Amino acid sequence: MREEPAAVSPGLVLARIAAILLILGILLLAPGSRYPMLTVLLALLLLLIVLAAFPRHGHLAANRGETARSEPVLGDGRLNAVLDAISAPTVLIDRRGIVMHGNAAAFAAFPGLRNDHPVAFGIRAPDMIAAIEAVVRSEPEAHATIIDRVPVERSFDVLIRRLALEPDGRRPPVGAPFAMIFMQDTTDARRLEAMRVDFVANASHELRTPLASILGFIETLQGAARNDPQARTAFLAIMEAQARRMARLIEDLLSLSKIELSAHIPPSDPVDLALLVRSVCDALGGLARDRGVTLVLDVPEAPMVVIGDRDELVRVVENLVENGIKYGQSGGRVEIRMSRTDAPEEGVLLAVRDFGPGIAAEHLPRLTERFYRADVNESRDQGGTGLGLAIVKHIVTRHRGRLAIDSRLGEGSTFTIILPGKRDLPET
């Protein structure tokens, strides 16, 4: 941004010139005077008075080198106090783009920001600098967007608005408040929007694939295979499987949105998780046998009561054990362990461990996203929709519990959930 000379009133300039001329005159006359030393001292004294009396312009020069909190902008600091009360990052600049005051939120969001330094040093956003320049030129306000990708992805909507502090709409001098930069954090809104777009794209893709297959078989049955009973039987079986897949997908999507809708209402029924786990494992016994997997249960005989929604907890246990069987098949064994926890609060821990191929570290943080699959083809072959763990995560969150995933390639995976539950709860 351009450096402009300090704006000084003409009267002040004249007074300054006159004072300096007077001092020069005295200095010139000093050798001829009767008391030369006294005259020189008088001249120096006058010079000191002149320097002290004229207000110093260029707040910047006066305070250079000072960081974060500098002296109040409007004398008594009222404006600074107002800015500090605003929770969104807000920065006051002079007309060269020098930061006069940033509030706490601004310094927290942009640690490189310093009072008395150009705002461009602390916030590297060409879009915002261009907007400030537009306001400096003539615009009353301008908008910009800041999008950072590193170290974390974040974004801000920025508004730069000129202040009307000077009388008669005059331009304020350099070093005086000129414009305010308001920043609104839009990181979450953008992320949600991106998720929504992804979600619609994923959901329609997942539905389109089986639908295309069904339509293809219908065409074949109407044409080439019209009189081929053997082909008809085979094709109908495939169509049924695809239609079931679509039905399951829609059912999963509906239950996800139902859980989301009730996320703020925690469940209230006491449920014996030990009993529930045993019955889910019984039901999955057939699948385990088919895959050559042994289910090893280490579940206490006594009731392990948690406060929960029985149907939702069945879905959690079903999906974790089913994943262990499906994806950890090569390990030949899935262990289901349950115990009480005391710290940080009373609860019940359920760990489902398999000895299959494990999951690479880069997938772990994303496994609970809708439709996210570590191995898309394997999951599809297994009839999975990639929604299972998203449902698990939502249910556990609604139960005010926690889900942890621990996995190492080649060693298998452990999915652990901890649900709040008191020892003395009545059993159901």
The residues binding Mg ion (CB under 5 A) are 319, 323, 388
What's the CA gap between 266 and 154, in Å, rounded? 31
Using rule CB under 6 A, residue 385 touches ligand ATP: yes
User: Binding string to ligand ATP for residues 297 to 326, with x set by CB under 6 A, is what?
Assistant: ----------------------x---xx--
User: Binding string to ligand ATP for residues 326 to 355, with x set by CB under 6 A, is what?
Assistant: -xx-------------------------x-
Residue nearest to ligand ATP (CB): 388
Question: Positive or negative CA dihedral for 205, 206, 211, 213?
Answer: positive
- The structure tokens listed for 419 are 């649900």
Select from ligand ATP, Mg ion, none the partner in contact with residue 387, using the beta carbon and a kind-dependent cut-off of 5 to 8 Å.
ligand ATP
Select from ligand ATP, Mg ion, none the partner in contact with residue 367, using the beta carbon and a kind-dependent cut-off of 5 to 8 Å.
ligand ATP
- The structure tokens listed for 249 are 């997908």
Select from ligand ATP, Mg ion, none the partner in contact with residue 324, using the beta carbon and a kind-dependent cut-off of 5 to 8 Å.
ligand ATP
**β-strand 141-148 against 99-102: which pairing, if any?**
unpaired
What's the CA gap between 372 and 382, in Å, rounded? 15
173/388 with CB nearer ligand ATP = 388
What's the CA gap between 365 and 388, in Å, rounded? 15
What's the CA gap between 24 and 17, in Å, rounded? 11
User: Binder to ligand ATP among 102, 331, 347, 388 (CB under 6 A)?
Assistant: 388
Give the length of the chain.
428
What's the CA gap between 352 and 348, in Å, rounded? 13
Rounded to a whole number of angstroms, the minimum distance from the CB of residue 336 to ligand ATP is 12
What's the CA gap between 119 and 125, in Å, rounded? 10
98/288 with CB nearer ligand ATP = 288
Q: What's the half-sphere exposure (Cβ side, CA atoms, 13 Å) at 174?
A: 19
**β-strand 141-148 against 305-308: which pairing, if any?**
unpaired
Count the site residues for ligand ATP by CB under 6 A. Answer: 22
- Mapped onto helix, strand or coil, the DSSP state of residue 402 is strand
Using rule CB under 6 A, residue 386 touches ligand ATP: yes
Using rule CB under 6 A, residue 389 touches ligand ATP: yes
Question: Positive or negative CA dihedral for 73, 79, 85, 87?
Answer: negative
Select from ligand ATP, Mg ion, none the partner in contact with residue 128, using the beta carbon and a kind-dependent cut-off of 5 to 8 Å.
none
User: Binding string to ligand ATP for residues 228 to 267, with x set by CB under 6 A, is what?
Assistant: ------------------------x---------------
User: Binder to ligand ATP among 158, 387, 396, 417 (CB under 6 A)?
Assistant: 387
Site residues for ligand ATP per CB under 6 A: 252, 319, 323-324, 327-328, 354, 356, 359, 367, 373-375, 379, 384-390, 413
